[in-house]
Amino acid sequence: MPCHLFKIRICLEDNVTGWAVGIILHSEPELNQPHMIVGWPGIGNIGVITVDNLRQQIEAEELGEIEPWDYFYPSKVVIRASVLHSLEFPTSKFYYKRLANRDLLLFVGEEQPSGRGRMYAEGGKAYEMANQVLDVAEKFGCSRIYTSGAAVALTHHSWKPRVWAVATDSGLLAEMKGYANTLLMSEVEGRGDVGNITGLNGLLIGVAKKRGLEGVCLMGEIPDYLSRVPFPYPKASQSVLEMLAAILGVSIDMAALDDMTAQMEDVITNVFRQFPNEVRDRIDQRRQEAQPGMITEEDEKWLKENIDDFFRQEEGDKGQ
């Protein structure tokens, strides 16, 4: 029977609420030991921009989705001719692609399930969604999961972002270290062996390890002074996508990301010019340093006292 005629609903019991939540699969293709690449929104939307651009470039086909009802509020109410037509929810979709070197599964989530007004998923819902993503990965014989996100660093927006790698075992770390423009999180000055990855992009590889799957998180650097602003940072997504292309052995046309990066460079330059002189001077001092560094408590304090106050003042001026 042709795979496109399949429509499968996998029901899982939610241990938190006891309700049945599900995964809809529109097809059941035969895939050869695929790897899965996952992206959710986060700082600079680095991960989701990376994975969605990869999806478009390789022309991946839609495979299915996680039903939204138990995770999200409606993002939009659609009204036509004054009649309520439908409720629209954030999507959480799976895709697949057969490639010459490695079959792929992709997952793109428009939003992380969260509560209390937070950006990142946490608690039971986060753990549940991570397991649902991995249920699909295991169903198709996947053994390795890649996630992507942001690495907040003492870098400068004029520099090419590097990619920080975290993995579930030392052998994977050695493999990731072999790719250009990549370093291990533990190699970043001032970090040592301590670190964390916020949200589902980090949680997923932890759950993957618990389930016996390999996991890698690739994080593109974003300057600390841009980590709190509500716009994307595609320059870092380019670095992560370049690395993924090398890992997968595929050719990627960066034209769309080049255009997006050029547009954001104009926005960033305009914002940077509005910083107080002493703030700009301190940031520009980084150009004299050999390598970007890790955020320290002192840096966090300075960021809060200068950058955060600047953006709050800007928002206040717009509201007047």
Q: How do the domains of the chain map onto residue ranges?
A: 3-318
Taking residues 270-286, report their average pLDDT.
87
Q: What is the pTM of this model?
A: 0.85
Would you say 189 and 13 are in contact if contact means Cβ atoms under 8 Å apart?
no
Sole residue written with tokens 């206040």: 316
Token couple for 316: 């206040």
Provide the pLDDT confidence category of residue 320 given band limits of 50, 70 and 90.
very low
Pairing of strands 214-223, 83-88: unpaired
Among 158-167, 170-179, 207-216, 297-306, the range scoring the smallest mean pLDDT is 297-306
Which long-range contacts link 171-179 to residues 24+ away (Cβ below 8 Å)? Answer: 172/214, 172/215, 172/216, 176/216, 176/218, 179/243, 179/246, 179/247
Least confident of 9-18, 106-115, 174-183: 9-18
Token pair recorded at residue 18: 């006891």
What is d(CA 234, CA 102) in angstroms, rounded to the nearest whole number?
Answer: 26
User: What CATH architecture does domain 3-318 belong to?
Assistant: 3-Layer(aba) Sandwich (3.40)
* pLDDT reported for residue 174: 93
Look up residue 142 and give its DSSP letter: -
Q: Between 74 and 316, name the one with better pLDDT.
A: 74
Say whether pLDDT at 261 is over 90: yes
pLDDT of residue 144: 97
CB half-sphere exposure, 238, CA atoms < 13 A: 18
CA distances from 172 to 52, 145, 163 (A): 24, 11, 15
Mean confidence (pLDDT) of the chain: 83
> Rounded distance, CA 226 to CA 230, Å?
9
Half-sphere exposure of 150 (CA within 13 A, CB side): 26
Nearest to 7 by CA among 20, 23, 18, 31: 23
What's the pLDDT tens digit per position in 290-299? 566 666 667 7
Residue closest to 102 by CA, chosen among 211, 220, 247, 215: 247
Which helix (DSSP H) or strand (DSSP E) does residue 242 occupy?
Answer: helix 234-248
pLDDT of 102-161, one tens digit each? 899 999 999 888 755 555 556 688 889 999 999 999 999 999 999 999 999 888 999 999
